[in-house]
Amino acid sequence: MERRKSAQTLAVKLAVRENRVVSKGGALHKPPLLFIKIKTNKMDAIYLKTIQNRAIKLLKIGNDPLRLSSQDNCSEMARIVGCWILQENPMTSAHILKGENVMGIKKKCHDVLIVEKKNKFYLIDPTVWQFFKNKKNILLAEKNTMKDCIEFAEKFYEGRWAISETINKNCFKNIKKWEEVIKLNTCL
């Protein structure tokens, strides 16, 4: 029984690494980039890793390292990831958290995402690599309040942070436009 369980764990790890979804029967399939459907009741590690892999795939259009390809794409990526999460988890809410003078650099702005699900708040940065090239996870923090997420961002990135907008459920009509901006930014 233990051997079977470890084989299943390995299959899930491989599926996540290859941006694939594991169905109930254990079969692996690779869905289209924008519309992966994952049944989950929380923002668990496998779900977030899948979102992260999708974000990386979108950013890695050119040959630049992730640190460079994620620069100047924080606004679009935060919104796209927010849309993906809203689509797959309709009971969540997503907000853009905008920072100014981040990392001690005047006029340097950065957008991240706060996702609320079941009274938990998740601070997610889909372009974290522009500041921390060795960061392994886009999930920066899980907090009990939105205020706690804002305070964490202020300590982690420095600068002034505030909610700039709420992502609505109609955001999907803008995904193609945001993807085009990312393609233009990464191909320059």
Find the DSSP H helices in 90-132.
Answer: none
Q: What's the token pair of residue 146?
A: 């939105």
- Rounded Cα distance, 23 and 29, in Å: 8
What are the tens digits of pLDDT across the range 33-88? Answer: 443 344 444 567 888 999 999 999 999 877 788 998 888 899 999 999 999 999 88
Q: Vertex 83, ends 80 and 86: CA angle to 5°?
A: 155
- CB-based burial, 116-153: b 16+ in 10 Å, e otherwise: bbeeebbbbbbbbbbbeeeeeebbbbbbeebeebbebb
pTM here is: 0.76
40 against 94, higher pLDDT? 94
CB 98 within 8 A of CB 80: no
Q: How many CB atoms lie within 10 A of CB 74?
A: 24
Looking at residue 63, its pLDDT comes to: 78
Pairwise CA distance, residues 85 & 98, whole Å = 19
Query: Which amino acid would we find at residue 88?
Result: E
Task: Give residue for tokens 């029984």.
Answer: 1
CB 129 within 8 A of CB 66: yes
**What tokens were used for 166?**
């709420």
Domain boundaries, the chain: 66-186
Please state, in angstroms and as integers, the Cα–Cα distance from residue 166 to each residue in 59, 107, 180, following that order: 23, 23, 22
Beta-bridge partners for 112: 97
- The confidence band for 93, taking pLDDT boundaries of 50, 70 and 90, is very high
**Dist CA 78 CA 100 (whole Å):** 16
